[in-house]
Structure 1
């Protein structure tokens, strides 16, 4: 997966149903189904609107779509859940994903209100979203702390192996077999 086009397609495959995919994308992104079809079948490159819409709707994939790099520790994952070199595979950060989704939705709504002067933000809903976002941030931090201890132990073990001369590791391996 070394192009934005390939990564974008990989996300679309995961988040949409094969049947009615383009109509679903049109409904979710406000980009025409015909444009999605043209992109899907290689007749056009993805537009900025397509990339922005997918990244806004599924923000936990945005960093990977743009760079080809995952940063799972902070909730930035690939559509297939794989880690990209040199990152180690990490446990899924569900609270981070929820946080990114709500933050993206809040930003999208704010932009919509700014563009459409006749639409007003509901103060109660906005406050409830801010409260939920703070709750998710606390949950995201707690999840990160819990998982970091486990993952750091594995990283320390890998570091010790890399810093240990191979002839010592071979002797250790030979002693275990005997």
Structure 2
């Protein structure tokens, strides 16, 4: 399970920040800790998951269960990336 969590964390990082340094700073962990988690697949501590969910609450459901609920504002990085692409191209209908 930890490798799935580390992959999800990486996906959030890639959509929301410019890299590990910025992501680490935003959630309050050392960059080296994030590198170790991403590169080894080590399970992140609960405090890290909580910090991610507090910084980006829209990913909480997806991070913990793999599900999304767009009506409730719970998305995945893939959905967020698609939404941003639509907004940039001016094809967003909202």
Same fold (TM over 0.5): yes
Corresponding residue of 1:30:
28
CA 1:43–1:5 in 2, change beyond 3 Å: closer, same or farther? closer
Higher RCO, Cα 8 Å, sep 6+ = 2
Structure 2 CA distance for aligned equivalents of residues 23 and 73 of structure 1: 32
Structure 2 CA distance for aligned equivalents of residues 33 and 5 of structure 1: 14
Please say if residues 5 and 45 of structure 1, whose CA atoms lie closer than 8 Å, have aligned partners that are also in contact: yes
Please say if residues 39 and 45 of structure 1, whose CA atoms lie closer than 8 Å, have aligned partners that are also in contact: yes
Gaps of 5+ in 2: 84-93
Name which of 54, 71, 74 aligns with 1:73.
71
Q: Look at both structures and tell me which one has the larger radius of gyration over its CA atoms.
A: 1
4+ residue segments displaced more than 6 Å: none
Corresponding residue of 1:51:
49
Structure 1 CA distance for aligned equivalents of residues 13 and 60 of structure 2: 12
Q: Deviations over 1:116-171 (max 9, x none)?
A: xxxxxxxxxxxxxxxxxxxxxxxxxxxxxxx8xxxxxxxxxxxxxxxxxxxxxxxx
Structure 2 CA distance for aligned equivalents of residues 5 and 43 of structure 1: 6
Structure 1 CA distance for aligned equivalents of residues 37 and 79 of structure 2: 24
Q: Deviations over 1:49-75 (max 9, x none)?
A: 221111110000111100000011110
TM-score normalized with structure 2 length: 0.73
Pairwise CA RMSD? 2.2
- Paired residue total: 80
